[in-house]
């Protein structure tokens, strides 16, 4: 094992309360001086270069299943793709794409656009807007409601449950918060389970009437092709109607989507506006084209991702340029550090809306690459473009926001805006 170096005393440890407010000086030092660092405090190996993080996310010697098991302590999260390695992982991920893959998102793109219009409408005439409570959370609730086909009457209860299960993301959550998160997970699973049969039935009924119409020729071939493409019902209904999964697996994937998706999407908004609003030129680019807005979402996630690291455990000894990690070691790929690696990104601390290529790791990489990424890009770009177009004077007001002490998601508190 290579001797690890110690972070200089003047730099706050990135997991300490002070370091969590601004982890970047420590990230930079680690990347430059000890890129394969054994952290005595957490007893984990910290990877900070883009090359090492990308390798850890793609190389099967770094197990996500073991990493999640370590991370969630004794929490019994239902089985899902995030808690499994290949080949089991692919068996769960393929049906998961029915819920949030690109085709699923295309099928509900009209609904997503309407949800975003509703969020924007809700801001009209408001003097004070809280970035997360008034924009991020309604956005996350609206787009996930589209995935799950939730009627308006279910949304308030869903939003409360989604907020409560989000504590499962935070590795620093104490035992009480973790127990509350587990209880909420049970309630969320029941909530989704209660709606799964009707959602699946709606999909089967639409498929049956589409095939009857095709048999009688009443829609014509173009009509039946279109019906097959959008295949009625919600993406959740298509997942629930799929017979490749057990019911527990299906609900595990559905609840993982809420745990992994709702809060990061909600918090992405404040993190993004914090960097974007002071840059008039960048805001102008986002306003002017949807492509620029999509590119901005990636760039803003590169700079301030709500998910700054992810855990793995080595299944055998791994030799990297910066050191040797033993078998069975707990490893954190600090993607927040990798995303500012000057070896890959010119001007790594700057917002460059048109950055291309932009191989950031904010959505992970390899087998476990975020399945929600197409949804995040589409919803994020529509939201940012719509916000800046409808509210061109949108700006921060009051005291500057501060970074919350939580580690996952990395998020701002007290970010107030006015139009």
**What element of type H or E holds 312?**
strand 310-314
Does 305 interact with ligand HEM (rule: CB under 6 A)?
Answer: yes
Does 268 interact with ligand HEM (rule: CB under 6 A)?
Answer: yes
- Inter-residue contact 343 to 50 (CB < 8 Å): yes
Phi then psi for 319, rounded to 5 degrees? Answer: -95, 120
Which of 136, 142, 189 minimizes the C-alpha distance to 161?
Answer: 189
Does 303 interact with ligand HEM (rule: CB under 6 A)?
Answer: no
Would you say 210 or 325 has its CB closer to ligand HEM?
325
- Shortest Å distance, C-beta 275 to ligand HEM: 14
- Shortest Å distance, C-beta 309 to ligand HEM: 9
Candidate list 139, 199, 376, 394; residue touching ligand HEM; CB under 6 A = 376
Q: Is 319 exposed, middle or buried (0-12, 13-18, 19+ CB in 10 A)?
A: exposed
Question: Which residue carries 């969590």 as its tokens?
Answer: 20
- Shortest Å distance, C-beta 272 to ligand HEM: 9
- Shortest Å distance, C-beta 384 to ligand HEM: 12
Does 254 interact with ligand HEM (rule: CB under 6 A)?
Answer: no
Find residue 62's DSSP bridge partners. 314
Q: How far apart are CA 77 and CA 89, in angstroms?
A: 15
Does 64 interact with ligand HEM (rule: CB under 6 A)?
Answer: yes
Q: How far apart are CA 344 and CA 370, in angstroms?
A: 21
Q: Is 400 exposed, middle or buried (0-12, 13-18, 19+ CB in 10 A)?
A: exposed
- Count other C-beta atoms under 10 Å from residue 159's C-beta: 19
Does 119 interact with ligand HEM (rule: CB under 6 A)?
Answer: no
- Give one DSSP letter per residue of 192-211, joined into a string: HHHHHHHHHHHHHHHHHHHH
- Shortest Å distance, C-beta 208 to ligand HEM: 28
The site map against ligand HEM for 308-337 (x = CB under 6 A) is --x---------------------------
Does 263 interact with ligand HEM (rule: CB under 6 A)?
Answer: no
Q: Residue 164 has what DSSP assignment? A: H
Does 142 interact with ligand HEM (rule: CB under 6 A)?
Answer: no
**What element of type H or E holds 247?**
helix 247-276
Does 138 interact with ligand HEM (rule: CB under 6 A)?
Answer: no
SS3 342: coil
Residue nearest to ligand HEM (CB): 372
The site map against ligand HEM for 335-374 (x = CB under 6 A) is ---------------------------xxx---x-xxx--
Which of 305, 317, 261 minimizes the C-alpha distance to 36?
Answer: 317
Candidate list 108, 119, 294, 307; residue touching ligand HEM; CB under 6 A = 307
Count interface residues toward ligand HEM (CB under 6 A).
Answer: 28
Does 82 interact with ligand HEM (rule: CB under 6 A)?
Answer: yes
- List of residues contacting ligand HEM (CB under 6 A): 57, 64, 81-82, 93, 96, 100, 256-257, 260-261, 264-265, 268, 301, 305-307, 310, 362-364, 368, 370-372, 375-376
């Amino acid at each position: 094992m290579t001797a690890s170096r110690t972070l200089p005393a003047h730099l706050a440890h990135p997991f300490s309360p002070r370091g969590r407010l601004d982890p970047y000086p420590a990230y930079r030092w680690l990347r430059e001086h000890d890129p394969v660092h054994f952290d005595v405090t957490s007893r984990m190996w910290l990877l900070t270069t883009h090359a090492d993080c990308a390798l850890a996310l793609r190389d099967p010697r770094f197990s996500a299943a073991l990493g999640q098991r370590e991370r969630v302590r004794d929490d019994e999260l239902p089985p899902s793709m995030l808690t499994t390695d290949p080949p089991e992982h692919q068996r769960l991920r393929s049906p998961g794409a029915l819920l949030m893959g690109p085709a699923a998102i295309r099928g509900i793109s009209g609904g997503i656009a309407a949800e975003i219009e509703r969020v924007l409408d809700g801001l009209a005439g408001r003097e004070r807007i809280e970035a997360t409570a008034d924009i991020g959370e309604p956005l996350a609730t609206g787009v996930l409601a589209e995935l799950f086909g939730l009627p308006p009457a279910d949304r308030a209860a869903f939003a409360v449950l989604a907020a409560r299960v989000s504590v499962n993301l935070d590795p620093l959550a104490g035992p009480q918060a973790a127990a509350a998160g587990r209880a909420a997970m049970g309630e969320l699973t029941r909530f989704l389970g209660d709606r799964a049969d009707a959602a699946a039935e709606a999909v089967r009924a639409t498929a049956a009437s589409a095939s009857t119409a095709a048999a009688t020729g009443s829609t014509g071939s173009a009509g039946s092709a279109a019906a097959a493409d959008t295949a009625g019902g919600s993406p959740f209904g298509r997942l629930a109607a799929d017979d490749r999964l057990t019911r527990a697996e299906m609900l595990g994937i559905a609840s993982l989507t809420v745990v992994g998706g709702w809060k990061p999407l909600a918090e992405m908004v404040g993190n993004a506006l914090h960097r974007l609003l002071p840059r008039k030129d960048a805001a102008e680019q986002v306003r002017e084209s949807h492509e620029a807005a999509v590119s901005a979402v990636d760039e803003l996630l590169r700079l301030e991702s709500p998910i700054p690291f992810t855990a793995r455990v080595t299944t055998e000894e791994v030799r990297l340029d910066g050191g040797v990690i033993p078998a069975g070691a707990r490893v954190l790929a600090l993607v927040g550090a990798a995303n500012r690696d000057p070896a890959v990104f010119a001007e790594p601390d700057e917002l460059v809306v048109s950055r291309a290529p932009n191989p950031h790791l904010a959505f992970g990489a390899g087998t476990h690459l975020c399945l929600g990424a197409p949804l995040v890009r589409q919803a994020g770009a529509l939201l940012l473009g719509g916000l800046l177009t409808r509210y061109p004077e949108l700006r921060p007001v009051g005291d500057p926001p501060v970074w919350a002490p939580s580690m996952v998601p990395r998020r701002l508190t007290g970010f107030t805006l006015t139009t």
